[in-house]
Homo-oligomer: A and B are copies of this chain.
Amino acid sequence: MASPSRRADPRAKLTPERILDVAQGLLRGEGTDGLSMRRLAAALGVAPMTVYGYFPDKDSLIDAIIDTETTELDLRIVPGAWQEQLRDLLILLYDQLVANPFVVQLRQRRPVVSPGAMRFTEAGLQLLQHAGLTVEAAAAAFRTLFIYTFGYAAFASPPDEAAARRHALAACLTLPVDEYPAVTSAAQALTAVLTGRDQFLRGLDLILHGIKAEPQKSPPRKRPPS
Indicate if the CB atoms of B121 and A183 lie closer than 8 Å. Answer: yes
- Compute how far the CA of A94 lies from the CA of B93 in the bound complex, rounded to whole angstroms: 24
Question: How many interface residues does chain A have, given as a range?
Answer: 35 or more
Smallest distance from the beta carbon of A114 to chain B beta carbons, Å?
A: 7
Please, which residue of chain B has its CB at the minimum distance from the CB of A151? B151
Q: Could you say which of A16-24, A43-51, A72-80, A104-112 contacts chain B?
A: A104-112
Indicate if the CB atoms of B150 and A202 lie closer than 8 Å. Answer: no
- Is A154 interfacial (CB-CB < 8 Å)? yes
Indicate if the CB atoms of A190 and B111 lie closer than 8 Å. Answer: no
- Is A34 interfacial (CB-CB < 8 Å)? no
Q: Can you list 17 A-B contacts with CB-CB less than 8 angstroms, sorted by A residue number?
A: A107-B155, A108-B154, A111-B158, A111-B168, A118-B172, A118-B180, A118-B183, A121-B183, A135-B186, A140-B189, A147-B155, A154-B155, A205-B210, A206-B207, A206-B214, A208-B210, A210-B211
Please, which residue of chain B has its CB at the minimum distance from the CB of A211? B206
- Compute how far the CA of A202 lies from the CA of B126 in the bound complex, rounded to whole angstroms: 20
Interface residues of A in 140-171 (CB under 8 A from B): 140-144, 147-152, 154-156, 158, 164, 167-168, 171
Indicate if the CB atoms of A152 and B151 lie closer than 8 Å. Answer: yes
Instruction: Indicate whether A111 sits within 8 Å of B150 (C-beta atoms), given known contacts A118-B175, A140-B202, A143-B203.
Output: no
